[in-house]
Amino acid sequence: MAEPRRLLLTGANSGIGFEAAVLLCRAGHRLTLLCRDQVTAEDARQQVISRAGAGSPPATVVGDLGDLESVRAAAAELMATGNPIDTLVLNAGLQYAGSREPRRTPQGHELTFAVNHLGHFLLAQRLLPLLEAGRAPRVVVTASEVHDPASAGGRVGPPAGLGDLGGLVDRAGEGVTMVDGSAFSADKAYKDSKLCNVLFAREWARRLEARGTPWPVIAWSPGLVIPPTSTGGFWRYSRQGNELGQRLFALAARSLLRLTESVENAGALLAALASDDAHAAGGFRYLSNRLEGPGRHRFEACPTSGEAQDEDLARRLWEASAALVGVEA
């Protein structure tokens, strides 16, 4: 077996992240799980080691990606330990379907953008020294095919699009609502955040290569994954009155149309991306778990959307994000 890796994983308390954590723990890797509160962290730790049946119990750190101060505190705690990170897995995500009004973070930013992109961006910047101290450092970012308006999921509802990033200007302390400055749409906010994930990964890989350290920076789409309990974890902020609709959609997509990927299979893909030597090549890559037919997926490298290939947009998003979280661009 390859030498165990030291991994920091966000979003490990449920869904894809949890399944990946179980496999990584079982394989002997050393995990640190970043969770939004102490209760969630301890439950995730216990559940992972119980399911894994082997390996060392994961370490945990509390950090709410929806609160930049909490992210700073978590990063400071990790930096104080000085433990190197071999693989940083930025996997946590949320979507609150059915809401007409934006939910906001303590800093005033729309919650989807804050958790899926901005909190991860800040965490990555603060933990860079631990990655530099790691063995063959690697970064994995969970994105989605919906970043691409031409994809099956991206064609449903308003398409992803960041425009001129006009919405990232903090107007009188009100915070960011939509990246392009348009009227709020919960569906578009999620798609835009996934586009931000891909652009962030692309720009980080470019910057690493420019300084002579071309680590692997992998963005990936797991496909349509709907856990059996579709109202927790990823769905925890969705409108309560929309629960029946979510369950009916989940039933149709999973059992009737067979459009979904299982949580277990997607978790195995994430575990492999984080640890296998097959994914050790440097530079940016985007891989997608594409649906080929009912119940059939193919996981392979593929092009991103045209907008996600815009290097100038990636640079400007990086610089705007850095300004929002208060780090050097």
Share of the chain above pLDDT 90, in %: 78
Q: Mean pLDDT, to the nearest integer, of 306-324? A: 97
Question: Is pLDDT larger for residue 112 or for residue 328?
Answer: 112
3-class DSSP state of 157: coil
In the predicted model, is pLDDT for residue 150 greater than 80? yes
pLDDT the model gives residue 3: 86
Report which of 62, 87, 89, 90 is spatially closest to residue 77, judged by C-alpha positions.
Answer: 62
pLDDT the model gives residue 106: 97
Token readout for 124 is 């990555």
pLDDT the model gives residue 230: 44
Distance separating alpha carbons of residues 31 and 207, to the nearest angstrom = 27
Q: What is the pLDDT of residues 87-136, one digit of tens each?
A: 999 999 999 987 899 999 999 999 999 999 999 999 999 999 999 999 99
Q: Mean pLDDT, to the nearest integer, of 225-245? A: 52
In the predicted model, is pLDDT for residue 82 greater than 60? yes
pLDDT the model gives residue 235: 45
Going from the N-terminus, what domains does the chain have, and what CATH number goes with each? 6-325 (3.40.50.720)
* Average pLDDT in the chain: 90
Annotation says 190 is catalytic: yes
Q: At residue 151, what is the residue type?
A: S
Q: Which of 96, 190, 237, 286 is catalytic?
A: 190
Give 27-71 as a 3 state SS string: CCCEEEEEECCHHHHHHHHHHHHHHHCCCCCCEEEECCCCCHHHH
pLDDT the model gives residue 153: 86
Would residue 35 be called left, alpha or beta, if left means φ above 0 and alpha means ψ between -120 and 50 degrees?
A: beta
Q: Mean pLDDT, to the nearest integer, of 69-83? A: 98
Q: Mean pLDDT, to the nearest integer, of 174-187? A: 95
What is the strand order of the sheet 87-90 is part of? Answer: 59-62, 30-35, 6-10, 87-90, 138-142, 216-221, 283-293, 296-301
What residues are paired with 219 via a beta bridge? 141, 286
Q: 252: pLDDT confidence band, cut at 50, 70 and 90?
A: very low
